[in-house]
Amino acid sequence: MDRGFFIDGQWLLPDGKETFVINDPATGEKVGSTLLADGAIVGQAVAAAKRIEKSFADMPAAERAVILVRAAELIETRVEDMALLLTREQGKPVPDNRKEILFGATVLRYYAGEATRIFGSLRPASAPGIKNVVTYQPAGVAGAIVPWNYPVDLYCWKVGPALAAGCPIIVKSPHETPLAIAMLVDCLHEAGLPKGCLADVPGYGPVAGAAIARHPEIRVISATASIAAGQEIMRNAAENLKRVCLELGGHAPFIVLADADLEAAAKAAHRRSFSNMGQICITVNRILVDRRVHNEFASILADLADQTELGHGVAPGVAYGPVLNRSVIDRVEAHRQDAVTKGGRVIAGGYAPTEGDFARGHFYRPTVIDDAPLDSLAMTEETFGPLAAMTAFDNHAQMIEMANSLEYGLAAYMYGADLERMWTIADRLEFGGIGLNVNDVSELQAPFGGWKMSGLGRELGPEGLEAYLETKFLKMRVSASLE
């Protein structure tokens, strides 16, 4: 598939634009290509959005809801083709991509419902004859920056609430994985979305992303990115005080208490560490284990990592595929080497397989490093690859200090048997989402986002609409008399 830009209800293939080639990370074979947007393309998209802004804001919420539901239905009928294409461009196995895409459809359907639940309120007055009314209106043209690791799902996280609120939106798709997104855009268009309400412009962050963040007629921007990219988005958005919603990097601790079910905890840590080969913002980067059960837990986890079978994600039964590209492998290698140099021990994985078909793609064995020094890169920087670093703690106060010691505050996980103790510990952890005996922190109806340097604002749940709504207060003098 070779794609261009979707602007004003049509696909455009303008001459003279830079092209990026997408290769299958498992085989190196070409999958397709995309044109790359620049500031002029972003400006063209904004102009189309401004033309429809008022009429789309005035469209009854129930009509916007119908469009989102139709789009969800179309996605569900095309999920197999979308999942296969996403596997070939991004690497995740087809079952994982099927789950991602179907959840994206569910997000659109959820915000179709939320579109009809944007309520105002009547507030008490401080004097007779006064009525106070609070209303919410669309914030205006929105911008979004979507990452390459879960592109379809996170696209829906941003487009769903924006369209539900009545905001046209310009999306900078990831240039690495823009192909399945093109199918998603077709679903939204065919569902009846008015021209100009959605623009899709793949490109590089410092070019297309910066143009979106700086554009004075884009009033809100939502981005899923690294901390460094989020800081740059904020700097650019500050030029016109644009509202920002940022879901940024994570470095999730996985805490194992002495009374935890070690088999269950190890299986959960393994899946959360190596699902999508660790290329997830909420992946487990560091594992903190009570010293009394450390050796037993480490042995179980190492065995699980060693037993993990890698393969091409299109093959039946494959649960773990390649990483996106060589730069991911280089970063994992740098973190592994640094940890070992400082005294850590590789107890599973630690290398890129090169035998057979692995030589054609970007594969790296699930890696566990034990006794990882607290100052090692793996324990302090987001790896965003298949590496989990582990260390032991001697008491809960020490463990809490370890967990909270970094600038990251997106997700944390804890396994144990005493829920009262776990609740008390969770109260002291500085993270936006915490999983207790569960290795996930996202839920459709609950807000998702980070503390500290891991972001601003929230996505999902009713809170996901807030970034796209402006508050208006109406104070009215009315007659206090019936005469």
When pLDDT is cut at 50, 70 and 90, the band that residue 108 belongs to is very high
Dihedral pair phi/psi, residue 225, rounded to 5°:
-160, 180
Residue 321 lies in a domain: yes
C-alpha closest to that of 167 among 210, 199, 191: 199
Residue 445 domain flag: no
Confidence of residue 190 (pLDDT cuts 50, 70, 90): very high
Question: What is the pLDDT, as a whole number, of residue 479?
Answer: 75
Residue 125 has a pLDDT of 94
Token pair in block for residue 340: 């070992």
163 to 112, 136, 195, 464: CA distances (angstroms):
9, 14, 13, 12
pTM for the full predicted model: 0.96
- The one-character DSSP state at 194 is P
Q: What percent of the chain has pLDDT over 90?
A: 98
DSSP H/E element including 164:
helix 151-165
DSSP H helix total and E strand total for the chain: 14, 21
Residue 23: count of CB within 10 angstroms of its CB: 18
Is the model more confident about 128 or about 134?
A: 134
Residue 327 domain flag = yes
In sequence order, what DSSP letters do the residues of 121-138 get, joined into one string? EEE--SSTTEEEEEEEEE
What mean pLDDT comes out for the span 422-439? 99
The parent domain of residue 35 ranges over: 2-248+450-473
328, 184: one domain:
no
Q: What is the CATH number of the domain that holds 279?
A: 3.40.309.10
| Shared-domain flag, residues 235 and 218 | yes
Q: Is residue 483 part of a domain?
A: no
Residues 199, 268: one domain?
no
pLDDT digits (tens, 9 = 90+) for 372-405: 999 999 999 999 999 999 999 999 999 999 999 9
pLDDT in tens, 451-476: 999 999 999 999 999 999 999 999 99
> Can you tell me which residue has the tokens 């260390």?
391
The set of catalytic residues is 247, 281
Please state, rounded to an integer, the average pLDDT across all residues of the chain: 98
Q: What is the mean pLDDT of residues 283-295?
A: 99
What would the mean pLDDT of 252-258 be, rounded to a whole number?
Answer: 99
Strand, coil or helix: what is 308? coil
Is residue 343, in this structure, part of any structural domain at all?
yes
Give yes or no for residue 218 having a pLDDT over 70. yes
* 41 and 136, same domain (yes or no): yes
30-73 tens-digit pLDDT: 999 999 999 999 999 999 999 999 999 999 999 999 999 999 99
Instruction: Answer yes or no: is 73 within a domain.
Output: yes
CATH code of the domain in which 197 resides: 3.40.605.10
